[in-house]
Amino acid sequence: MAIFPNLRGLVRSTSLQKGSNDGRGTEAADSLAKAARKNESMLCSTGKARSHKYSRFASVCSKRGEKGTNQDCFVVWEDFGCQDDMIFCGVFDGHGPWGHLVAKRARELVPSSLLCNWQEAVGLELATGLPSGKLDDDGNMLELWSRSFLKTYAQVDYELKQDRSINCYQSGCTALTIVKQGDRLLIANIGDCRAVLARVSEDGTLAPIQLTVDLKPNLPREAERIKQSRGRVFCMNDEPGLYRMWTPNGNSNGLAVSRAFGDYCIKDFGLISVPDISPRKLSPDQDRFVILATDGVWDVVSNQEAVDIVSSVPDREQSAKRLVEHAASAWKRRRRGIAKDDITAICLFLNPPANATTPPHPSRRLLKEALGDGHQAVDTKLCKK
């Protein structure tokens, strides 16, 4: 076992024994997630019609629409992997008869799987001779996180397919997840949830910067892939402007996104679960917060409106609730006669409140709880593949 005291990434120690693949990484990641929930450094949707929670850096809110069960889920994990400079956020939007269960399961799987795959990626790099000080270089960091996100999304989609307790054949969910590590942001997206950054412009006002692309079937790159896979893209006569992807024979319901977990009835015809991954270097002087929200917000609220609403709330604890309530009202005004969608938002503030006090960091205690006695740091032996 080699110890790297200066490593500022997720791990503080790593095994250099290649081929050590006993699954302890998976168990450690799951244990850390349980400890985070217990110590309230992880927030998850409750499944109730309305939920509103607040943490030191994030305000979150979810409101059921008019279509039945709330199929939106969210998760915020501060001190991700017991690192005080790291936070994980995700929103998941289910669709189809079992969509609420698909979204809930994806929310449970993604954070722990990503943590485990990141540990494995870091361990492999160190085992092949990369100096620990190089892990924080922008190029290496992007490569490690990209590899981890890609593997995680593939694993989650596979696990959902194998889960006999959830029928994912004509049900699925979109997923937008981010990791903030220091002043860098990594975004992974499938579907039409959206992330928007609020940045101070030259005139002192806050301007929105859209960090993700709404992955719809009519996007040229998405439509080309679907058509090459024998899928079809078109609008129904009663839904002008709403493009969906369809199977060649049209036997399944049309899907209004081009990437998603689940929906195996159309996976052979162009639907993929490969995330669109993008990095962002944050400016402490200009960047204020990031909004992650499901399409229930963005269908009726513009990027600028959302930024203005969040920035106008004196108490940041209420910011997500205010945005969700505004979107709910906008559905009544702008989408008359259309059932209101589920609405979920996370407002991730990039700096703690000015009057905030920093509590003692729980990393060591959480690690001991998660890993048991006899462990002084996260052991990054390779996870099961």
pLDDT of residue 188: 98
Task: Count how many Cα atoms sit within 13 Å of the Cα of residue 50 in the half-sphere of its side chain.
Answer: 7
> What is the C-alpha to C-alpha distance for residues 116 and 381, in angstroms, rounded to an integer?
10
Q: Is 332 within the bounds of a domain?
A: yes
Q: Is 227 within the bounds of a domain?
A: no
State pLDDT tens for residues 345-370: 999 999 876 665 544 444 444 444 44
pLDDT of residue 153: 98
If you ran DSSP here, which 8-state letter would residue 14 be given?
Answer: E
State pLDDT tens for residues 236-275: 988 888 999 999 987 778 999 999 999 999 999 999 999 9
pLDDT of residue 35: 66
Taking residues 211-238, report their average pLDDT. 96
Phi-psi region of 343 (alpha: psi -120 to 50; beta: other; left: phi over 0): beta
Q: Name the domain count of the chain.
A: 1
pLDDT of residue 187: 98
Band of residue 17 on the pLDDT scale cut at 50, 70, 90: very low
Taking residues 215-241, report their average pLDDT. 95
Tell me which H or E stretch contains 89: strand 86-95
Alpha helices (runs of H) in the chain, residue ranges in sequence order: 24-38, 99-127, 138-162, 220-228, 295-298, 303-312, 319-334, 363-371
Band of residue 52 on the pLDDT scale cut at 50, 70, 90: low
Q: Is 344 within the bounds of a domain?
A: yes
Q: Which amino acid is present at 356?
A: A
Q: Which amino acid is present at 371?
A: L
Q: Which amino acid is present at 58?
A: A
Q: Is 250 within the bounds of a domain?
A: no
Residue 317's CATH number:
3.60.40.10
Q: Is 110 within the bounds of a domain?
A: yes
Contacts of 354 (CB under 8 A, 6+ apart): none
Band of residue 377 on the pLDDT scale cut at 50, 70, 90: very low
Taking residues 128-147, report their average pLDDT. 72
If you ran DSSP here, which 8-state letter would residue 217 be given?
Answer: T
> What is the C-alpha to C-alpha distance for residues 91 and 321, in angstroms, rounded to an integer?
15
- For residues 24 and 152, the model is more confident at 152
Q: What is the model's pTM?
A: 0.84
Band of residue 142 on the pLDDT scale cut at 50, 70, 90: confident
Q: Is 25 within the bounds of a domain?
A: yes
315: containing domain = 2-215+257-371
pLDDT of residue 54: 58
Can you name the residues that pair with 76 across neighbouring β-strands? 43, 89
Among 293, 358, 360, smallest CA distance to 330 is for: 293
Q: Is 153 within the bounds of a domain?
A: yes
Among 259, 326, 343, 329, smallest CA distance to 70 is for: 343
Q: Is 342 within the bounds of a domain?
A: yes
Q: SS3 for 13? A: strand
Maximum CA extent, the chain: 65
pLDDT of residue 9: 38
